[in-house]
Structure 1
Amino acid sequence: MPLSFLTAEGGQDESADAGAAAPYHASGHGAEARWWRPYRPGPWRVAIASLLLVLASYLLFAGVIVAAAGSLSGAGVSVGVAVLVIAGALRSLRMGVWLSRRGLRQVGLVRTTTLPWGRVGAIRTAQQPVKWLALPRTVQGQALVLHGADGAEPRTLLTDHNADFLGRPEAFDLAADAVEGWAARRRG
């Protein structure tokens, strides 16, 4: 199973030619359905997911102890909460912008939005106030903004202060360039 987040920095596979940002050149069955993220998950995102998985391991251990003490309902609650924490940690690792020949997909913690390339207007990098690690606090930073072809309100795809790019401005630039390049090729 190919792990798209393990490609070279900026989302380019070393075997790809310099002009192509896509790691997949296959045209066989299922090639159109492959989604890939043009950047690696950032250290903040991985650290948060790791802490959640450590918390889940403690919850599972607590469930075993509670079950050994004789309370199966308490153990079930502990294991159920652990499963929810594990699902949240795994989902947080999938969050971000994914690209395919079919369109652009923005994966959030609880919601995923997919836009076919025909509905994507312009994608540009802009200086604007952005959220710091998705918290209510805003700071001045760069954002990759999608303007829909239908004139809908602009949507922020990536920021240089989110969990993937905080402290890694060059990774943000590479990811923004890859997404902008894909959008330009698919529209053009």
Structure 2
Amino acid sequence: MRKLLICLPLFLLLNACISAPPGLEKSEFRVQNLRKLSPDDYACQCKEVRFGGKIIAATALQNKTKIEVLSLPIASFSAKPVLTSTSDGRFMAYLEGFVDPETLKDQYITVVGRLMGMEKGKIDEANYDYPLIQVQHYKRWKLVEEYYYDPDDWYDYWESRRFGGFFFFRPEPRLRYNLY
């Protein structure tokens, strides 16, 4: 019981540290999924949206940069794209100012902005209607490889040592990807 009383406040404190960057905070009024967009949202041009995903292409234009993003669901609190999920479509976003397109390719991004309508385009030979976002805030995420040990592997290692088992067994690190 004592451990629970110590761990619970610690858990709540650490959980509060997982927050979205400034400008990307969750709001009740923002659309956060491409599938939830309705024709009325496009006609209104007043909806605030928060989308994220992987940048597929970027083009520098006069005083702005146009990016095509493969949309991924975003984590509710941290606003990071969820790497293990499947895409729910694509969208176009316009960033103010010049951003070098080569630095944007294959990066992950979360954008907050206004839904400005649809833009017609093509994906290979197929016609596609892209939701168009005028970006107000955005965050580029850095993809990092991390090695970690599964706790079950360490348990097996120490159990084998305890009973005089093979001493050459060492757990293998596993690889995972995180966004920072």
Q: Does TM, normalized by the shorter one, top 0.5?
A: no
Compare the two structures and name the one with the higher helix fraction.
1
TM norm structure 2: 0.29
TM norm structure 1: 0.28
